[in-house]
Amino acid sequence: MKLDVEVLRYLSKDDFRVLTAVEMGMRNHEIVPAELIDRIASLKHGGTYKVLKNLLKHKLVHHDSSKYDGFRLTYLGYDFLAIKTLVNRGVISSVGRKLGTGKESDIYEVASEDGTVLAMKLHRLGRVSFRAVKSKRDYLRHRSSFNWLYLSRLAALKEFAFMKALEEHGFPVPNAVDCNRHCVIMSLVQGYPLVQVKELQNPETIFETVLGVIVRLAEHGLIHCDFNEFNIMIDDDEKVTVIDFPQMVSVSHRNAQMYFDRDVECIFKFFQKRFNLSFQVSTDDNEGSDADTDETGWPSFSSISKSSGFLDKELAASGFSRKDQEDIEKFIEEDIDDTDSDREESEDKQFVESTEANVKGLSSLHLEEQEEQTSNSDEDGVEVKQRSCEAGQDNRPEIQDDSDKEEDNQSAIENDAELNKSLNKQRKRAVAAARGGRRSFASRNSYKDKGGKSSQNSRIQKQLCSW
């Protein structure tokens, strides 16, 4: 994105007031409604909509009406807010040319009021080349929602804190001047990236210096995680300066050894390929290798003493926690997962056992009632036969006995149907109670019997009436 600061001189106080209102609204809105912007800005005579139209023309805000009429802040508008704040503080007074573009930042040349040339780094997370930042970095920590502008602000704050602390401990890093939003002001390094350097007077000395920086960082409890030829600056006097710190992690991180070995391997490979230094580069994972590869010395992560300082504690680097890191990781990764899985399994088992017990109880109750009804019907049939024989009736009473038996069977069938309905209702209630009161609602036609027991019972009843 091109930063045209000429527009900055033509923006009024109302414009910055509306930009600030959009920024405040984006704390809990992805797209800020126009009415909310108007209430926050509180401009007279409805001037907010006119200002929004002007900001939209200069691409400082973006209009979105897909769900509702609203606006969101663009990176250019966020740049203007940060630059305006730094100008009001007296940190910078002018913005110059672009020095470089990275996958997650743009660097510009700026000047202060006394003419000192500084570097301004604008973090721009969310580019197509670096969209996986939310999974590769820990800026969000335990937050569920995120905003690219908010992530850029967190990255700038983290880099400024690391740069300030490393400078105080004597590391070769730029001088951190100030920070606002996603913008970091630092001293300008008069040098070139190591990737652009073709020849060195003392490549062995530079190699030992660079490798010593990695070891010193580990001794102070930090790992750079992106220590390569692109993030190492070297001047005409072959003085080394390290840049780019948002991705640094603690030595207590679960992947600390992997990051450390990767940084060391990048330096070994680059100096061997570019300056033809004679040493053997290990292409293995180097997991638990305590021995050095040759006389130059491949530093081992396990052999480094982490007693020089605790910058990871002071800066809360990624992977650091106040308790013992290994115990916390075991508790978070193993205990919680195991307890959750055990809890779910126990709940499932309890649910299954309760439902099975209810079903067994209901089925046994149904069988007992059915046996009682069948026994009662048989006794009634026997009594009817005895009465008919004593009366000395003909074949007609026997037909009457058969009809009485059929009526009894019919009543038993009807009682069975009613019992089945009651059992089904009780079974549904038991399942709903076991599931915590959740009921499954059936359709309107689910209770209509199409060729079932009730239709058969009605046909039998009609035949008996005709008899």
- Indicate which residues carry an active-site annotation: 226
- The distance of Cα 114 from the centroid of its chain, to the nearest Å, equals 45
Spacing of C-alpha 202 from chain mean position: 47
Neighbours of 283 (CB within 10 A): 8
Nearest residue to 377 (alpha-carbon basis) of 417, 413, 426, 348: 413
- Asked if residue 282 lies in contact with residue 265, where contact means CB atoms within 8 angstroms, the answer is yes
Decide if 104 contacts 70 (C-beta within 8 A).
no
Which residues in 351-368 are b (16+ Cβ under 10 Å) and which e?
eeeebeebeeebeeebee
Maximum CA extent, the chain: 136
- Cα(125)–Cα(149) distance, rounded to whole angstroms? 7
The per-residue b/e assignment along 131-151, b for 16 or more CB within 10 angstroms, e otherwise, is eebeeebbbeeeeeeebbbbb
Q: How far is the C-alpha of 449 from the C-alpha of 462, rounded, in Å?
A: 18
- Nearest to residue 136, comparing CAs of 236, 259, 275, 9? 259
If phi over 0 gives left and psi between -120 and 50 gives alpha, with beta otherwise, what is residue 287?
beta
Instruction: Convert 315-348 to b/e letters by CB count within 10 Å (16 or more is b).
Output: bebbbbeeeebeeeeeeeeeeeeeeeeeeeeeee
Read off the amino acid at residue 142: H
Whether the Cβ atoms of residue 71 and residue 20 lie closer than 8 Å to each other: no
**Size of the chain in residues:** 467
- Closest to 210 (Cα-Cα) out of 184, 231, 189, 183: 231
- How far is Cα 269 from Cα 280, in angstroms, rounded to an integer? 9
